[in-house]
Structure 1
């Protein structure tokens, strides 16, 4: 990347592009949807809560009356839901330009998805792993398509314990579980790029992180932990010490649209150790670059989700 500060004003017209964004009803997902729709893209909001998605679409149309917006129901904590949504997509569309794996949960108290996965890695990683694999045929149908996966600076504290991925034996820590899930996002994005390259596909995989951004991501976890007052305090204080969701969405938008991006990159804010600023190449831990860890995560993810990608190495 060059030294010039990149903003959404640098994005060319997205007319004719189709982008699917998970968790697009709020936060950086909503900002990504709003910007892309305003630039002419057809945007599919894949969200768990239909009412919130409809409200988000109304806000976008209020600013951009001609916005092309569609809703698909998606609960990443349910593999059945992931399969149903993928089938609904394939019935309506034959190709996809950008899949933005944006949705996530943070600091949840210990719990399980309906498939028996620890909630944070189940939703943040395994749900997206399954979804990406099921939508891969549509991505492969569009040359130059991209998979953008949102990780976090919290990946730095993450450790993938394949012997106890769901904290069934070790002491559960909600921050530890979140860090593990965000490390999984980054490791997955890089391993996906390796497999796309090996197969000769004209699709790329990129990871991003939003820095420290003002969203409601942590609120549900704090409320579920019984920390209602703390959740309210965090909601009040967060905007004072973080950057806006509009700014936090820039790495995602850069990865989704820039002609300078390359597969396998990790993009985040450029100031104060990646906590805020404009998109640039981000640093990451050795674990996140370890190909042995990546291969193991891929194998485990295939086994747990039952989803195998339609990619084979070229000879």
Structure 2
């Protein structure tokens, strides 16, 4: 079994202990190597690979190394938040590229291996998607760059990308119908990660965020459980197009259940990543 996890240290550790062969792909080589060393001698195996999801060239380069491999699970887990808004050298908004477009392209490029294994695609979203109440907040007409005249809050773009994760997962499920490959989305819940570290140090309300995290957020291990459930539970075998919280199927916001919005996002994403004819595997 080959499972590819874009970051997701705790999930990778759990899966290796269950006997899975895992590839943990990301930009943090030190964290990846530390995880590999921790798991030495366990039932499964862990490979590490460099992958910068904000750069479509990096996604394509990584995918080439995976050609010909059967893939049982692709866990689209990587995410960034609360970073200064900026464009990448490829002209993409950085947070959108990392949280959505990189996963969108990676899923296309790895689909041959997923189809061979009749595998699973699990995409990690967030409860923050419910902050997006209007389709205009996704900036589908502005190439997802959020180049408004008004100032854009850091959380607004993050929340938009989490809505995109669910829209992508749902549309992927529809397009994969009959292939044997499933696509589901999970909300891990608030956990004690450092994803909002800038928010807690650079804003007046940072101390209140830190207090909330200390008092109410899940541990990192607890936050990983819904992703693990979506990967390994027999209850999810054959299930597709669903959204899970706390290891249970739940209803996401009404907006992200709109198939028309999902199709528009898909078409926009294809154009922005410059999807080539031979890359149209879905």
Task: Give me the TM-score of the superposition, normalised by structure 1.
Answer: 0.81
Partners of 2:16 and 2:42 within 8 A in 1: no
Q: How far apart are 1:55 and its partner, in Å?
A: 1.2
Matched, 1:282 2:250: yes
Contact 1:216 1:235 in 2 (8 A): no
Whole-Å separation in 2 of the counterparts to 1:112 and 1:59? 36
CA 1:76/1:37 → structure 2, altered by over 3 Å: closer, same or farther? same
Cα shift at 1:107:
1.7
Task: Tell me the distance in 2 between the aligned counterparts of 1:213 and 1:229.
Answer: 21
User: 1:209-220, aligned counterparts within 5 Å?
Assistant: 209-219=187-197
Q: Write the distance in 2 (CA, Å) between the matches of 1:83 and 1:148.
A: 20
Per-residue CA distance 1:7-39 (angstroms, 9 max, x = gap): xxxxxxxxxx2100001xxxxx11110110001
Deviation at 1:109, TM superposition (A): 1.7
| Mapping for residues 6-25 of structure 1, pairs under 5 Å | 17-23=1-7
Q: Which runs of 5+ in 2 are unaligned?
A: none
> Contact between 1:77 and 1:114, CA under 8 Å: does it hold in 2?
no
RMSD of aligned alpha carbons: 2.0
Deviation at 1:65, TM superposition (A): 3.8
Aligned residues: 271
Write the distance in 2 (CA, Å) between the matches of 1:232 and 1:89.
43
Q: Does 1:58 align with 2:29?
A: no
Are the equivalent residues in 1 in contact too, given 2:78–2:99 (CA < 8 A)? Answer: yes
2:240 matched to which residue of 1?
Answer: 263
CA contact (8 A) 2:9 2:32 kept: no
Deviation at 1:88, TM superposition (A): 1.2
- Separation of aligned partners in 2, 1:232 and 1:50: 30
- Residue 260 of structure 2 is aligned with which of 272, 292, 315? 292
2:88, 2:208 → 1: CA distance?
Answer: 28
2:160 equivalent to 1:183: no
Matched, 1:38 2:4: no
Per-residue CA shift, 1:279-306, capped at 9, x if unaligned? 1112211110101101100000000002
The correspondence for 2:220, drawn from 238, 245, 269, is: 245
Partner of 1:208: 186
Partner residue in 2 for 1:167: 146
Q: Does 1:73 align with 2:44?
A: no
Give the distance between the partners of 2:127 and 2:280, measured in 1 at CA: 28
Q: CA deviation at 1:111?
A: 1.3
- In structure 2, the residue matched to 1:147 is 121
CA distance in 2, matches of 1:240, 1:60: 30
Question: TM-score w.r.t. structure 2 length?
Answer: 0.90
